Structure 1
Amino acid sequence: MAQIQLTASAPLVPFNCGAKQLSKSVLVCSSRRCASFSTLSFTSFRSTKVRNFELGASTAAASNEGFEEVVEGQPLPALGSSYTWPDKKPSHRDPPHKMKGKSRLFTIGLVTAWYSSNIGVLLLNKYLLSNYGFKYPIFLTMCHMTACSLLSYIAIAWMKMVPMQTIRSRVQFLKITALSLVFCVSVVFGNISLRYLPVSFNQAIGATTPFFTAVFAYFMTLKREAWLTYLTLVPVVTGVIIASGGEPSFHLFGFLICVAATAARALKSVLQGILLSSEGEKLNSMNLLLYMAPIAVVFLLPATLIMEENVVGITLALARDDVKIIWYLLFNSALAYFVNLTNFLVTKHTSALTLQVLGNAKGAVAVVVSILIFRNPVSVTGMMGYSLTVFGVILYSEAKKRSK
């Protein structure tokens, strides 16, 4: 790059580019000429193209061509020293306040959409399986997975929301298949438990996921946490025991199925960390859902035909009497995919830790909303137990964060 020698010249006459006065010492360089002026007056000094102007008798007339952009705050060399003018104009690191405000509103909108879809699909599942009388949780889960398969392909292959990641080997495919099977068990068991338990108690049991995650991680990976981390799991389990004793709608089979669903959910997260740990096998959550959902449909279809005989005929018969059942199933299935989509977007625009904190708060919101909608009886003991569980989960999150 050519060196441009800067030398002092006589003081220059100030010029005015607007009403707002701002005094600066600025150097403006041209590939043909250099001009020095001691005092300038401008309107906005962020990034200004210098055009023809008169500086006085001691300066040459500047050309329209060859002028660089001058940016406020750029350090200037001492007069008489050599200086290499940068090829690129410096950029402001801090975004404008308007951009920050828009980003904040966008994040709040994402979190609201995630909360709404997550709580919505939970309440609609409860309504269909318990109140409406559609007692086919496996078929309902298969509808969810079918929608996730189609909408995932549209979002990734057509809309290009995330880059398409491919399965690179048969071994990786078998690992994804194993994850899909565990995932199916967790979702199906969770839907079955909603037939017997209120949403509030279901969420209280589901909050114990960190306990099962720590147990599986210890036995499967021999990964040990700090003693304080394990200590925080005591209120998590104690709270569920207290909530179980004070739950007016307690159902033993529903309780055991819900515990199994929670354990399967934790097992899936641990297995995902083990099976897809190498750099070549890692998939983001959107691509993982793209491959897991169709495999889940393959598992669920024979289970539905065997365990829920003639479910398609029964659904069509219900539709002839009340067409709303079709719209319920379609909307519920689309909402199930939207839960995964918003989960991914919230994680992308915030962090995994923020998602964990928001998830804890989401459970409490779901409990309150379900009680208001379904009017299920709740005892003081049950609410105290659930509050203790949530408090334990928050302590566990903090202990995990400090141990890293």
Structure 2
Amino acid sequence: MDGGRMALGARIGLAGAGLFAAAAPARAQSSFASATSMSWDGVLTGIFLGLLLFSLVYNGVFYRLLRERFLIWQSARTLSYFALVLALSPLAMGPWLTPDSFARQVWICIFFDLSVVVSGPFLRRYLEPGTVGPRIRRLLGWPPMLILATTPAMLITDCPPAYMALRNMLLLAMLGLCAAAVIMALRRGSRTARYQAAAWSGIGAVYGVSLFHDIVLGRPFDAFLFLLFPALGLEVMLTALGILDRLVRLRRERQEARAQAEAMRIIAHTDPLTGLPNRRAIEESFNGDPPVAIALVDLDHFKAINDHHGHDVGDRVIFAAGVALGSGTALAARVGGEEFALLFRGPAVAVATEAERLRQRIGAYVQQMVPLLDRPVTASMGLVHIGRGTSFGAAMKSADINLYAAKESGRDRVVFIEAA
């Protein structure tokens, strides 16, 4: 196998991963040639594996809270790192996966490329919406999977140059794509891109020095592995911090969105003059928990108040009537103009008494809150009991018939029917 060509392909793969893959096959890289004679630092390896396991747990906990897909892709990257660290260690891991076995090299190549491939979808979901152009965002999706079609190039003896060139081209394209996405996001003020650029800077520095040794000096970078894994550890930690920052902001945005939606819901269900629920709100309340009775209340001769005193005084009268009706046990709502609705729940026998008490309270509240009126304000009410299965529309129609009857019979009274 052409070791120099495979070394270049593997190292380009490291960069093409957006500076976030572990290492290419040991037998395929010149820098790894010197690594075969060095002793493996078990403590450092254990710390790094523990860091990766912590990252997996961290991602899992936050995914249960916020269900963000970039946590799944980051977990896939972390698992790829974990598998690569195990493969590059001297552990035998069974008769088929000894350190110098071909199966071990296959393992390394597959998980190396997987760490490259999943980084595109991760970055696509991770960077804030609007910080990356739509074309780059699309290209960060599934097209990177084409890299897996070139994985065998790292394992084939005397690999055809065209096949290896295709692999290098795809990996370089992946490098450029990830770099372009991060740079674009940085220019658009992305906090997440700042964390990710910092996370990849360590691996980028190690990889750059290694390429300088391979291409310019013509000899391997002996400290490659010793520096690579600390750089990977730094990448994992900084990415975890970036994810935490992103999730905190996402949670805050969602809380603000929920608060805004709740405020809009309240506005949409509240009468702006009286502060009482409006027709939409009382209909939802009726359908959610049907009352035992419903009443429609209309202020008597209200047009004369507007004509003689002006609409500002009329609004004060309506407000006072709303305060009076809202002070009782019934659910009061303004359903239009000077008309109100009441929903009564509780013992049916007490409905008529409570309805009359609220109706009479309107005059007292208006007299107290709008003293400039030259005559008392009275109200007429149509009241009905609600039968089982009665719709809101039918109940309102029955109450309106009774309200009309109260108006026709002289106003300032309640007309009540036992059932609707």
When the two structures are superposed, what TM-score results if normalisation uses the length of structure 1?
A: 0.22
When the two structures are superposed, what TM-score results if normalisation uses the length of structure 2?
A: 0.21
Q: Relative contact order (alpha carbons < 8 A, sep ≥ 6): 1 or 2 greater?
A: 1
Structure number having the greater helix percentage? 2
Q: Which one has a bigger Cα radius of gyration?
A: 2
